[in-house]
Structure 1
Amino acid sequence: MMDYRFVYKDVEGTSTQWGDSQRRLGHLPPKPEPFKSPAFAPKVEADEQPKSKEWLDAREPEELEELEDDLDDDRFLEQYRKMRLAELREAAKAARFGSLVPITGSNFVREVSQAPLDIWVIQTEYGI
């Protein structure tokens, strides 16, 4: 047997008028402050700082070629990301649901009882 009891929990930090008046009278402890996550700040590595002209002039050609390889990889990943997003958008455009077809009593067995497993059948009374 299932347990049908349910405990309602509202959005964190909200309360009722009853709870507010009980807190004011001292019957309930003060409301805890709602959790607020710190603002996102991406980590910046020391070697990822913007490069100046002096920094570029001080590098060897081999080091610069390695940096170019890194740039090519990032460009490839960006192109792949755009291509994948376009594919996902196209997939989202596809129809998710079939069609609504009214059937008569004589067609009921064929259309409902013998329907393939991948087709969902919904029965309503007197049409929709």
Structure 2
Amino acid sequence: MQDPNADTEWNDILRKKGILPPKETPKDEEDEEPEILSHQSVVKTYEDMTLEELEEHEDDLNEEDERAIELYRQQRMAEWQATQVKNKFGEVGEISGQDYVQEVTKAGKDLWVILHLYKQGIPLCSLINQHLAGLARKFKDVKFLKSISTTCIPNYPDKNLPTIFVYQDGNIRAQLIGPLVFGGMKLTKDELEWKIAESGAIKTELEENPRKQIQDQLMTSIRTSIPTSRDNDSDDD
């Protein structure tokens, strides 16, 4: 007589028809299944837990679970610390000469600092302050500062304004001095971002210098407006 528990196509048909009872599960498999499901449940669940919830469930975990959760705990802590660093700033701070040492030269190891020297009443300085406010919100891991020029550096000449100094570890890495460097009141936020990115202080997603695009468009416009020699020959005829 054919074994009703055998894995055959005929037995599967008979089970579907209700002629044979469902296949019996060996006792060993029954004993193992809850443990496997429990472990899978823990692995699936701990990723959505907070660190406090993980600690509450530590008594219910086996050694393998504990190793996995400890690695996960370390990963979550590293992510949290990285987020705290990246979100540390986000705005342009105002400083005076007395704040310079603490806020710039002692700002922190590997920290980039952007300092804008400006004066009230100079339109380009006001424009740059507006652009820097947007960049500070975009690059929150960089410290953006501004200071009235003569408050920070006594007798600093107005002809050098606006001025941007880029620091890292208290050392100047780049400097942008005077209105000609910035291109006047047509300066866009993307152009300023590109200029600062060239120093290495920020990681821009811009693929090329926005000023170059404007220059290329201008040159194209000039070329199309200048008559060619062929056009001049036609006029002579």
Give the TM-score normalised by structure 1: 0.34
Q: Identify which of structures 1 and 2 has the higher relative contact order when contacts are C-alpha pairs closer than 8 Å and 6+ apart.
A: 2
Question: Greater share of strand residues, 1 or 2?
Answer: 2
Larger radius of gyration: 2
Say which structure is richer in helix. 2
